[in-house]
Structure 1
Amino acid sequence: MELLKIRWLIWLFPIVFFIHDLEEILTVEYFSMVLPFKVTTVEFILAFSILWLIVFIGCMFAATNKDFIGIGPIQYFSILVAGIFLANGIGHILQSIFFQKYVPGVITSIFILVPFCLFSIKKLLLVNLITCKQILIYLALGFILQTPFAMGSIMFAKFIVKIVGNG
Structure 2
Amino acid sequence: MILEWLDAHLQILTVFWLFPIIFMFHDFEEMLTIEKWTKHHKEQVFKILPESIHKDFYSSFQMTTLQFAHDVFWIFLTITMSTVLAVLFSFTFLFLMLLAIFFGHVFTHIGQTLILKRYTPGVLTAIILVFPYSSYAYYRLLSEHIISGTEIFWSLIGAILILPILFLFLVHERNKATKTSYRI
User: Is 1:23 paired with 2:35?
Assistant: no
4+ residue segments displaced more than 6 Å: none
Larger deviation, residues 8-17 vs 112-121: 8-17
Deviation at 1:8, TM superposition (A): 1.8
User: Is 1:7 paired with 2:37?
Assistant: no
Q: Mapping of 1:15-94 within 5 angstroms?
A: 15-33=21-39, 34=42, 36-37=57-58, 38-65=62-89, 73-81=91-99, 83-94=100-111
Larger deviation, residues 133-142 vs 9-18: 133-142
* Cα distance between partner residues in 1 of 2:65 and 2:134: 26
* Cα distance between partner residues in 2 of 1:44 and 1:116: 23
Unpaired segments ≥5 residues, structure 2: 1-10, 46-56, 180-184
Q: Which residue matches 1:105?
A: 122
Deviation at 1:156, TM superposition (A): 2.8
Q: Which residue matches 2:4?
A: none
* Cα distance between partner residues in 2 of 1:158 and 1:135: 33
Cα–Cα, structure 1 residues 101 and 160, in superposed 2: closer, same or farther, change >3 Å?
closer
Amino acid in the other structure paired with 2:79: V
Q: Which residue matches 1:165?
A: none
TM-score (norm 1): 0.75
TM-score (norm 2): 0.69
Deviation at 1:147, TM superposition (A): 6.1
Deviation at 1:160, TM superposition (A): 5.4
SS at match of 2:92: helix
Amino acid in the other structure paired with 1:100: K
Q: Which has the higher contact order (CA 8 A, sep 6+)?
A: 2
Percent identity of equivalent pairs: 26
Deviation at 1:75, TM superposition (A): 2.1
Q: How many residues align?
A: 151
Amino acid in the other structure paired with 2:142: L
Unpaired segments ≥5 residues, structure 1: 67-72, 163-167
Considering only aligned residues, what root-mean-square deviation do their CA atoms show, in Å?
A: 2.6
The structure number with the bigger radius of gyration is 2
Deviation at 1:54, TM superposition (A): 1.6
Alpha-carbon contact 1:20-1:112 (below 8 Å) kept: yes
